[in-house]
A and B are shown apart, each in its own frame.
Chain A
Amino acid sequence: AQSVAQPEDQVNVAEGNPLTVKCTYSVSGNPYLFWYVQYPNRGLQFLLKYITGDNLVKGSYGFEAEFNKSQTSFHLKKPSALVSDSALYFCAVRPGGSSNTGKLIFGQGTTLQVKP
């Protein structure tokens, strides 16, 4: 079965420290990988995506993510966290190739708490 896992329900970091939110996946074909952020009582906002090419992709608000094919991971990172980064983060995968029907498979979400 195709799935996405975010192993941490919550990540706590101090402002100014680097942050990592983990994501691993199990899908067929070469997948398309996405990160979304959700602020309270809002919809999901797109942060970044990996389609092909350089394994390190950069996105909005200073976030970046590293694709690791051998470990089937796509961890979200930021060198210096801000209190305003506190939100719920979702990793999502769209299977590639012949398995691509447009559907996105989401992880369960990770709450990021950045403390001053």
Chain B
Amino acid sequence: NAGVTQTPKFQVLKTGQSMTLQCAQDMNHEYMSWYRQDPGMGLRLIHYSVGAGITDQGEVPNGYNVSRSTTEDFPLRLLSAAPSQTSVYFCASSSLTGWGDTEAFFGQGTRLTVV
């Protein structure tokens, strides 16, 4: 089982460039989310989606866009990269069946450096 697949694993961008981080899951999970991980700050939620066509902002959404056209895919777009967006990005998915008590499954992460 593939689970949650993120691409690319590593990326270096110049300030002002744009890029899309890809995330795909094959578990038919309704809920998908993007986090960034910075030292000493844990994981902070950027954007999330509870189903195709539905997205919402998390804790740190500025500078990022998302869309959810299918259940499987949830890409994260950086429109104009800034050095403050240097971080490790994780995509996660979980089922919302029942009371939402299921664990989240995480991708392997994308290490992004903006110079």
Contact = CB atoms under 8 A, between A and B. Distances in A.
A108 B31 CA distance: 22
B74 interface: no
Given A9-B40, A44-B106, A103-B33, A96 B99 contact: yes
Most A C-beta atoms less than 10 A away, residue of B4, B96, B104: B104
Interface string B70-92: 00000000000000000000101
Contact of A42 (B43, B58, B94, B108): B108
A11 interface: no
Given A43-B109, A108-B42, A109-B42, A100 B104 contact: no
B100 interface: yes
B101 A49 contact: yes
B109 to A, nearest CB: 5
Nearest to A44: B106
A64 to B, nearest CB: 16
A30 B90 CA distance: 27
A106 B100 CA distance: 16
A71 interface: no
Contacts of B90: 43-44
B42 A104 contact: no
Contacts of A6: 42
A106 B101 contact: no
Interface string A78-112: 00000000000010101010001111111111000
9 contacts: A4-B42, A9-B40, A32-B101, A43-B90, A43-B108, A46-B105, A102-B100, A104-B33, A106-B35
Interface of B: 4, 30-31, 33, 35, 40-45, 48, 50, 58, 90, 92, 94, 96, 99-101, 103-109
